[in-house]
Amino acid sequence: MPQKIRKEVESRTKTTCADALLIQQAVANYILGISLGRTTAESLLFGSIGVCAVVANALCPFYLSWFVQASRRSAAAGTMLLYALCLIYSVTSAVGLAAQNREGVTASRQITHDAYEDTRRELLDLENRRSTTKGKERSRLDARIDDVRKRLRTLQSAAPVPADAQSAFLSALTFGLLDPQRVRLALVALFALMVEVGATVGLFVALSHPTQQPAPPVGRWRPRVD
């Protein structure tokens, strides 16, 4: 593959990845923003603010680089302040959305697991009581046992999974030094930082590649080709 085509492919790949992260972060900020509003207008306002923060995060590195090269210190300082505020807002939005999603999924799985364990204990208790009863009481217990078994089969068909297998596994790797709750918080922060760094710096990195070959050093001998 010619060098020019290879560089073009690399540039387009970097730009595509950066654009994808920008769109994902904008959607995440919008989703969290609309969940904060009490009315439709407020929801749209908060959502649009989150999208604007992502756009500012993508553009600020370019403006900051230009102002620094032009020695415009006041403009560079203002851009840095805007960049910091928008970055903090976007990071907190990403953390909030990721935490809300992960905690919600974990709580739902925990409820399913607890319901399965409670139903299983209820079935064992009824079977133990039936072994010592006779007559009508035994028939009544049989009916209850059948009902509990049906509920247990329904819960089994849902294939209960651990509340947060990833956090539990990473916690086990630390030999109990970090409990699953702290590991879960660290994973949420890691996810938010990964998305934010990719969304804010990715486009700048993708478009900041040199377009020309560097000039040869002055005084270096080069063979003459006729």
Which tens digit of pLDDT belongs to each residue from 137-187?
777 888 888 888 888 887 777 655 556 666 777 788 888 788 888 887 887
What span, in angstroms and rounded, lies between the C-alpha atoms of 23 and 33?
A: 15
Q: Does residue 200 fall inside a structural domain?
A: yes
How many whole angstroms separate alpha carbon 181 and alpha carbon 166?
11
Domain tally, the chain: 1
Q: Residue 14: what pLDDT?
A: 62
Please check whether residue 222 lies inside any domain of the structure: no
Which of the listed ranges 13-17, 115-119, 135-139 does the model predict with the highest average pLDDT?
Answer: 115-119
Does residue 215 fall inside a structural domain?
A: no
Amino acid at 150: K
| Parent domain of 54 | 3-207
- The predicted pLDDT at position 97 comes to 78
The model's pTM is 0.54
Asked, for residue 223, whether it belongs to a domain, the answer is: no
Instruction: For residue 17, name the pLDDT band (cuts at 50, 70, 90).
Output: confident
Confidence of residue 8 (pLDDT cuts 50, 70, 90): low
Residue 49 lies in a domain: yes
> Residue 121: exposed, middle, or buried by beta-carbon count in 10 A (0-12, 13-18, 19+)?
exposed
User: Would you say 20 and 195 are in contact if contact means Cβ atoms under 8 Å apart?
Assistant: no
Other CB atoms within 10 A of residue 58 CB: 22
C-alpha to C-alpha distance for 50 and 190, rounded to whole angstroms: 20
The amino acid present at 225, given as its one-letter code, is V
Distance between CA atoms of residues 139 and 129, nearest Å: 12
More confident of the two residues 216 and 91: 91
Q: Dihedral of CA 8/11/14/15: which sign? A: negative
Is 177 in contact with 32 (CB distance < 8 Å)?
no
Q: Kindly state whether residue 13 falls inside one of the protein's structural domains.
A: yes
Greatest Cα-to-Cα distance within the chain, rounded to the nearest angstrom: 113
Mean pLDDT of the chain: 76
212 part of a folded domain: no
